[in-house]
Structure 1
Amino acid sequence: MEYRNLGQSGLRVPVLSFGAGTFGGSGPLFSHWGTTDVEEARRLVDICLEAGVNLFDTADVYSAGASEEVLGEAIKGRRGDVLISTKASLPTGDGPNDWGSSRSRLIASVEAALKRLGTDHIDIFQLHAFDASTPVEEVVSTLDGLVQDGKLRYIGVSNFSGWQIMKSLAAAEKHGMTRYVANQVYYSLVGRDYEWDLMPLGKDQGLGALVWSPLGWGRLTGKISRGKPLPEGSRLHETADFGPPVEDELLYRVVDALQVVADETGKTVPQVAINWLTGRSTVSSVIIGARNEEQLRQNLGAVGWSLTPEQIGRLDAASSVTAPYPHFPYRRQEGFARLNPPIAG
């Protein structure tokens, strides 16, 4: 397993990490992801650690905290062998302080997560969304205090826009507080929006990307292709509205290219899609999920080999879309591009 620094921090993380969204399995969304219990989770953790995958990602909203509880039980007795990443800020109830990133909410959320996980510290703690109702100074000072107390080791964000991240980083730098080093983002061959603003920001500010949904919300599993209907058992029937939309033609174009590369390499479509992501700029780790041992072992096969430059170029071309304003002039006009050279994937 390859290990990379998380952004400009000294923390080394595996290029593949495991997403525990399938642990617990309750609620309208997460019950369709998976219903992994503690015994099954222990087996999946065993397989991950055997392969060198020691980073496990969860959140307080995953199955209403059950994901953290199951993960905590699954790693019991081997806390020193694993890194835990979790998130908070999204609503967990209907009360006035059951959502957001206020000092009160963050302290309570961290304490609750520590209890569910059965640990005294969280290795990577991320804000699950930007809270426009709380001053960024309050947020960063609270997180800095939790880091100083030893309850959090590293901090980051998820689902933030570029300006929201920069405002937060500026506040932390101004007051000499702990900076974000992680940005957990959606990024896939059918969803390359990360590249417009967040990738250049990450490179400039030292944020390492932790990539979620690398298979485009289940679209790049190899089960969907041109002229082939969505399989009856696909979770997309129930969860497609929760994820980012993808135009059919873009999906089919990408899947066609993936299949060609898969045939050339002897790998599967999802393995090729994940491998492509591991070569992208600023990516520290790609979060893979699995409902069972077979899926996990297949996803672990996405690393340990390399795509050729020609294969990468083919996938880049198939997944390319017109950049939104103000980015498209910099991508299409030489004068603009000279001022802001594009970042190589």
Structure 2
Amino acid sequence: MTFYNKEKNSVERALSEIRRGMPIIVFDHNSYILFAAVEILEEDLFEKYKIITSNIYVVITANKLQHMTKDYDIGKEKFFRLQIDNFEDLSDILNWHKQQNYQIQNIKKHKALDEYAISLLKMTELLPLALVVDMEFKNDVAMQKWCSENDVIYLKKSNIINYKQNNDLYEVCKTPLLLSNCKEVSVIVYRTIYNSKEHYAIIIGKPDYNEPLVRVHSSCYTGDLLKSLSCDCYNQLHDAIAMMTNTDGGIILYLNQDGRGIGLINKLRAYSLQMNYKFDTVDANAMLGFDDDERDFVHAANILKKLDIVKICLLTNNPKKVIELERYGIKIIKRVELITQYNQYNDSYIQTKFKRLGHIEPK
């Protein structure tokens, strides 16, 4: 008898090992890679890699590589390998933006499994830089024996795919809540099955569940809580609450995906690049190795379905949300503009959203 989901457990154990700086093996059809997170790698582990092989690589995303070198044609590739010789090379790659005349050498094409190493790093909200070596085993049994002898976790590619694709969630609790400008509010907490992240439905007033006004709002610790002037998140959230309070009500879906999905720590790193090196939010994300927007709105769609809602009026300036929600089975009856509030500190950020992220400027 098994008292747990073995496949889910294997992925979550692997994620825990990655966060501790430990290596894991990812495998598929007699192909094997051993990888660890560059960001938290200890030198003694690097030396152990050198015992295995002299061919040691860092897997890097194409958008980061594009910023690191203008002379290399990345084409349509999403990942590359950089061959490295010593531990100091890792620091150079992590901190290349602080150096002048940094030269990229030994660029190689990536292997198929490298993508899954990067995917796992993004799940842990560590920087998407993987130290990788190719491993050779006679078969999976031999690989498992090696892992047992070396206390290394192994993970099949299909387990990673299945883990990422399981977007089920369930209701944890529901409670009334009193807000300063609205006394008729309830909050429903949902928890995802696979990564245990929590998302929230904030129901304002008495919305029409046939076609409610809905705001899909991604968490922003610096804006929503600290009222940062560098973004417009605080104003968007509270303007949405005010709009719903002053009309027939509405629903705010508050999703736990700070920094457009890269996590709070990486968002703060991106802020540092913007403040110290004058990059915009898109380039700062790319320099860290992330896409423009790493968010997924499937949980918003699933929460609406839990509430028996399939048609909504969406309060947003972001057409991607319209496309994503409709892709997941929610019909957008109308897109409602949300007025953007400028100040001297967030003007360039807001202009970047219009010019580079495809947001529609309110009229």
Structure showing greater radius of gyration is 2
TM-score (norm 2): 0.28
Higher relative helix content: 1
TM-score (norm 1): 0.29
Higher relative strand content: 2
